Amino acid sequence: MPTRRSWLLLGVVALACATSAWAQPRPLTIHDLIAFDRVSDATVSPDGGLVAFTVSSLDAEGLRRTTDIWVVASDGTGLRRLTEDPAGDFSPTWGPQGRELFFLSTRGGSAQVWRVARDGGAATQVTTLPLDVGAYRLSPDGTALAVALEVFPECDTLACTTGRLEQEKTKKSTGQLYDRLFVRHWDTWKDGRRSHVFVVPVGGGTPVDVMKGMEADCPSKPFGGADEFTFAPDGRAVVFTARVAGREEPWSTNFDLYVAPADGSAEPRNLTDANDAWDTSPVFSPDGKTLAYRAMARPGFEADRYRIVLRAWPDGEPRLLTEAWDRSPNEVVWAQDGRTIYATAGNIGQQSLFAVDAQSGTAREVVREGHVVGPSVGGTTLVAAIDHLRSPAALFVIDPGGAAPRAITRLNAERLAGVAMGEAEQFSFPGWNDETVYAWVVKPVGFETTKKYPIAFLIHGGPQGSFSNNFHYRWNPQIYAAAGYAAVMVDFHGSTGYGQAFTDSIRNDWGGKPLEDLRKGLDAALARYPWLDGDRACALGASYGGYMINWIAGNWPDGFKCLVNHDGNLDERFAYYATEELWFPEWEHGGTPWDNPEGYAKHNPIDHVAKWRTPMLVIHGGRDYRVVYSEGLATFTALQRRGIPSRFLFFPDENHWVLRPANSILWHETVLEWLARWLGDAR
């Protein structure tokens, strides 16, 4: 007889067939959510006529996602899959003439660079390196590649690294000896290797480590990518981002831009040594005369505002372009004429696309609504992916003049037609100190004005983050709307997209302003929407949101019928000693626990456990080294010892996020069962 898990996976496999059988759209399910095709990595051909992109699809067994390269004309015609292989194909890059596409593939068991003709056909392998390629860049003339490889920095050759790895496999002992911190990072125990950028001819040859001997990573760990390095316009040098901080690396955010000759004939030269904060994302203007990059101003603060900086290449002085613009750009790309820089940035509950004048720094909105990511320019064509609360990402051609974007992909159209989504609305209210705070509400599917609906009160992480107009694959309010709940999400003080002062205001005040905003936000929602049932509400949060759930348990104990805590700290003091990126708690709490113990005690949930009484579901990942699983286990211990109804869902193979499809199904089913237990029938 099929197991429960088998039925879950069979439901995923049957989704596409079942969709067309429904006469009317039905509520969204977790099976729908994980089965959507995910579009990313859009890149426009040099002539602007063709767009290549990556599509991530759920495999037939519903166990893993596979990726392929697709192309579509910029007028939306000719959509086709360009590569198809059981291994993953991803990260497409156009050759300089637009006749072929380079991409990464795991065919043969190793991630290497491949290429395929613009019109399709058999792909051919470009690199045959003994190590996986983590990211790559193509030189402007297409004759060389810059590739990121994991090597021991003291090794002179790749053979040295591979030899040491083979030796490790033959060791009888399993002990690892460390002399300094970053023994583990995000979800990985470190073994001494670093990600270095190598230059290798496209036609083959000996790779040259342009970061030779550097105790640094490019791309940065754990989320850096190919946007952190690039060739100089003449192809004879590489500009890259790296943090060289020695033993201070775990509490330093001093990333600098370096330039190194592509042939390795000289050591890298620091271009941004004068700035002790974060410098990243080097990108050259189309004429090669100007380097643009993003820079923070305050050392030790990972959520400081990025500014766009310009530097005449190669020896000009840096010019701060966007000091007067109170937004923090996430991505930057030049327009073909070199007069405009397109940038995405959080913007009052959206992630908008802006056009920044390269002379004055004046920014104007090009696309306001939704969540815009990955802008790419080819010729006069501007393309980006846009998603929003009612739809996953699709590719759009963007009119720089501000006309409505035009969709050129609709890969999820059939699935979307088969499911109903809740209506989303943004509202604002006077929060802490009567300052304006924004929030979102998503109505339940099948909403009726005469009914009262229970509330799923979602609290974002970060804390410098936002529950914006974004179709999320882990915390999607539509899942709760589909189950009959109204989702309410408050962008409390500390959230991004509302100006840097608003973001900064959470420092040294984790449990103060944000808690007041959350309380006032729920009251404002209840007053504004009489169909909300304030007596049936559950609060849910992850990371900082999970911390806030523990804080609410002791400081707003009568606010909710139930709580859900995913990867949240219980003891801020001890969490400092167990986490890996120490700059984060040191900035947030005003120093180390021994130099400023009051900063860690001020809003520490563990000191309020005696007041806990609300039922709580606790969830944690065993490979979460940002918030170690002992925090979740300690929370569960406190709940159980106090006799408070509680459950503990543990994923030994997940990190700070739950990524595996089957685990995501279990996560959502467990959470929805918990809400139903304490809030009653939502329908």
- Report the amino acid identity of residue 596: N
Give the C-alpha separation, 445 to 387, whole Å: 19
Tokens of 468: 């914006």
CB 308 within 8 A of CB 326: no
Which alpha helices (DSSP H) does 449-543 contain, by range? Answer: 477-482, 500-504, 513-528
Pick out the chain residues at pLDDT < 70.
1-23
Note the pLDDT of residue 132: 98
Note the pLDDT of residue 23: 53
Name the active-site residue from 543, 567, 571, 620: 543
Name the active-site residue from 74, 624, 646, 668: 624
Phi and psi dihedrals of 230, rounded to 5? -160, 155
Give the C-alpha separation, 281 to 294, whole Å: 6
Positive or negative: CA dihedral 570, 574, 576, 578: negative
| 543 assigned to active site | yes
CB 398 within 8 A of CB 384: yes
Note the pLDDT of residue 280: 98
Closest CA to 354 of 327, 393, 387, 389: 327
Name the active-site residue from 68, 656, 664, 668: 656
| 57 assigned to active site | no
Q: What is the pLDDT of residues 647-658, one digit of tens each?
A: 999 999 999 999
Give the C-alpha separation, 510 to 165, whole Å: 43
Tokens of 658: 């739950």
Residues 6+ apart with CB under 8 A from 538: 454, 455, 456, 457, 560, 561, 562, 563, 564, 674, 675, 678, 679
Note the pLDDT of residue 60: 82
> Dihedral angle at the C-alpha atoms of 265, 268, 269, 274, nearest 10 degrees?
180
| 31 assigned to active site | no
Give the C-alpha separation, 674 to 270, whole Å: 53
Q: How far from chain centre, in Å, is Cα 228?
A: 15
> Dihedral angle at the C-alpha atoms of 620, 624, 628, 633, nearest 10 degrees?
20
Tokens of 423: 């209506």
Note the pLDDT of residue 8: 35
**Domains, the chain, with CATH or none:** 421-679 (3.40.50.1820)
Q: Is the link from the previous residue into 652 a cis peptide, with omega within 30 of 0?
A: no
Give the C-alpha separation, 34 to 62, whole Å: 9
pTM for the complete prediction? 0.95
Give the C-alpha separation, 479 to 350, whole Å: 20
Give the C-alpha separation, 375 to 666, whole Å: 34
Closest CA to 257 of 305, 314, 300: 314
Give the C-alpha separation, 574 to 633, whole Å: 14
Tokens of 605: 């949930």
Q: What is the DSSP string of 581-625?
A: -THHHHHHTTS-TTT-HHHHHTT-GGGGGGG--S-EEEEEETT-S
Q: Which helix (H) or strand (E) holds 239?
A: strand 237-242
Phi and psi dihedrals of 249, rounded to 5? -55, -40
Note the pLDDT of residue 682: 76
- Report the amino acid identity of residue 164: R
Positive or negative: CA dihedral 140, 142, 148, 151: negative
Positive or negative: CA dihedral 527, 532, 537, 539: negative
Radius of gyration of the chain (CA): 25
Q: How far from chain centre, in Å, is Cα 193?
A: 24
Q: What is the pLDDT of residues 560-578, one digit of tens each?
A: 999 999 999 999 999 999 9
CB 285 within 8 A of CB 233: no
How, if at all, do strands 194-201 and 616-621 pair? Answer: unpaired
- Tokens 């005449």 -> residue: 312
Q: Which helix (H) or strand (E) holds 230?
A: strand 229-231
